[in-house]
Chain A
């Protein structure tokens, strides 16, 4: 049986007359990296704050590692590492001092302090920053320092709010590597992000939120399956123009002088017949490929569908 690290059921949260979350339900599997996707103002940060026990929902319940976030918040707080979207670091302290203070607050045995700090520095690749005062750090460095602070007590769950925001491509690659490493060590990572390409690469599961309601919760393949009604095929020729055959069941969705994109469920036999006939006409077909839409496109489509429905 799949073990759940986080279970949210029917969450409702209102800020005055604005409803931030309505009947939000989802689950996060233990030991996975789960992406939390939604537009600005969709309710991502509110959800993450409820999950991390900083905020209470007006209705519904949330369970983290078997503990109710409202009834036993302090049993949860010590077992999660939280990285908010915006935070400030004490500029006059070194990273080693900063982490040292958190090891003490988390009541980690004194004998383990040095080992724990060194391991965290190594894991988050912040060794070079360790003895430097935390001023004039780049955005990527700040995020890594934040991650180091979130990991210092070896939490079971890591909750990250937009960790890739403002990071350059190199820093993003590094962040993904760290998250993969954490998954290998059995940690559960729940992260919100706008950079869907990054989520697609590292996430096992996805929770999609729209206007305060979860519209999808499951693995990425499932999300694609739910969102896509038809498959897209691209035929490319080396030099000559391509045309669609009258017998091919599909709709042209894009074309260029030497390629054509068709949306439709084309069987292997249909694809073979199409290619054979084009070759017979003298078209030098060089590639037939299935066009894989990005998660970004799938997400945009799901949002459009939802908006059309509403």
Chain B
């Protein structure tokens, strides 16, 4: 699995997609904070989204935006990283050396790691710009971890269904349900729901990958 992760990292590092995947979750909340704060060309610090909110409330709102973007963006590397290999059936070459379940697990972990790294980076930036950590950061981080795993599993499943670029829209749509869940989920049962979704998508993706290798 380490070799497959290295392959995915090298490939996306060289074609520039890794930087794009990592920076998008940071750019969106920071752009929102900057857009509101730089009103009238006056720099104000700490930055805010609503001048009537406390820094903690502003940080929580910005973290909400970052979370939604991260959840959506974890699906993209899962869809994109092995897309050309799946489309050209070259993924079958890897299947001689590694089982399809290992290939899929590598892809999901890679994409989830990117999504989660994007989240951590975004929270660091939000904390720096609003001067405070978003409240309930522990719970939000657990939610983000499960959301990025679910999201990357959805992306991996979609790419094995069809590797056409337009299918990326389906990955987005599949992950949209995660956004209201992130707002409302509290109890342990609700927190494990995305993991169940991830397990189902992962199983389907593995079966489809095996079929892709044969076609």
Contact = CB atoms under 8 A, between A and B. Distances in A.
Interface of A: 49, 52, 54-56, 74, 77-78, 80-82, 84, 86-90, 92-93, 97, 101-102, 104-106, 133, 149, 153
A89 B93 CA distance: 11
Given A84-B89, A93-B14, A104-B3, A54 B95 contact: yes
21 contacts: A49-B214, A54-B92, A77-B95, A84-B92, A87-B88, A87-B90, A88-B90, A90-B84, A92-B10, A92-B14, A92-B15, A93-B7, A93-B10, A93-B11, A93-B14, A102-B3, A104-B2, A105-B3, A105-B97, A106-B97, A149-B93
Nearest to B215: A55
Given A54-B214, A55-B214, A82 B3 contact: no
Contacts of B85: 88
Interface string B1-39: 011101100110011000000000000000000000000
A86 B89 contact: yes
Nearest to B94: A105
A96 B94 CA distance: 16
B45 interface: no
Contact of A86 (B4, B88, B94): B88
Interface of B: 2-4, 6-7, 10-11, 14-15, 84-85, 88-90, 92-99, 213-214
A222 to B, nearest CB: 32
A104 B6 contact: yes
Contacts of A80: 96
Contacts, number: 65
A259 B88 CA distance: 53
A74 B15 contact: no
B213 A54 contact: yes
A280 B200 CA distance: 90
A285 to B, nearest CB: 59
A77 B88 contact: no
Contacts of A153: 97
Most chain B CB within a 10 A radius of its CB, from A74, A77, A86, A88? A88
Given A54-B92, A86-B89, 16 more contacts: A54-B213, A74-B99, A78-B97, A81-B96, A82-B96, A84-B90, A88-B90, A90-B7, A90-B84, A93-B7, A93-B10, A101-B6, A104-B2, A104-B3, A104-B6, A153-B97
A74 B96 CA distance: 8
Contacts of A92: 10-11, 14-15
Nearest to B212: A54
Given A54-B213, A93-B10, A77 B89 contact: no
B207 to A, nearest CB: 14
A60 to B, nearest CB: 16
A91 B5 CA distance: 17
B93 to A, nearest CB: 6
B85 to A, nearest CB: 7
Nearest to B15: A92
A87 B89 contact: yes
A87 B7 contact: no
A106 B96 CA distance: 9
A101 B7 contact: yes
A91 B14 CA distance: 9
Contact of A105 (B92, B98, B214): B98
